[in-house]
């Protein structure tokens, strides 16, 4: 895997010998039902990727979303616990969606 700053950077795409380029859009949301509780007790992450070939032609799209939750007593030592749980779940789900898509194998 190689990070390319922009899919239009043809030199970087060629240098990486990229067959597929994933262009992600990441959205997050967080909150708590209590006005007095912070960090958030829930964290939602959504990742949607347009997948193109090296020439910029769209091959497919994949999407995953997850919600991580943590109670106040759980995150006293780990303020990012709800976010970590959401990130773990969304990464697993995105990986599964990529493997299920025949065009991306």
pLDDT in tens, 58-103: 999 999 999 999 988 888 889 999 999 999 999 999 999 999 999 9
pTM recorded for the entire structure: 0.86
Place of tokens 């991580």: 68
Query: What DSSP state is assigned to residue 77?
Result: S
The answer to whether the CB of 52 falls within 8 A of the CB of 7 is: yes
CA nearest 83: which of 24, 29, 34? 29
Q: How many residues comprise the chain?
A: 105
Beta bridge partners of 60: 51
Q: Pick the range with the lowest mean pLDDT from 7-21, 25-39, 59-73, 87-101.
A: 25-39
16-19 long-range contacts, CB within 8 A, separation 24+: 18/54, 19/53, 19/54
Q: What is d(CA 105, CA 103) in angstroms, rounded to the nearest whole number?
A: 6
Q: Give the whole-number percent of the chain exceeding pLDDT 90.
A: 75
First to last CA, the chain: 15
pLDDT score of 1: 82
Largest Cα span, the chain? 52
pLDDT band at 16 (very low <50, low <70, confident <90, very high): very high
């Amino acid at each position: 895997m190689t990070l390319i700053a922009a899919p239009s950077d043809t030199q970087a795409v060629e240098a990486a010998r990229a067959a597929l380029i994933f262009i992600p859009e990441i959205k997050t949301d967080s909150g708590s039902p209590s006005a007095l509780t912070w960090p958030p007790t829930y964290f939602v992450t959504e990742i949607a990727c347009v997948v193109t070939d090296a020439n910029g032609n769209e091959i497919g799209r994949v999407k995953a979303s997850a919600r991580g939750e943590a109670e106040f007593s759980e995150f006293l030592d780990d303020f990012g616990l709800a976010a970590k749980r959401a990130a773990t779940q969304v990464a697993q789900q995105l990986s599964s969606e990529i493997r299920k898509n025949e065009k991306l194998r």
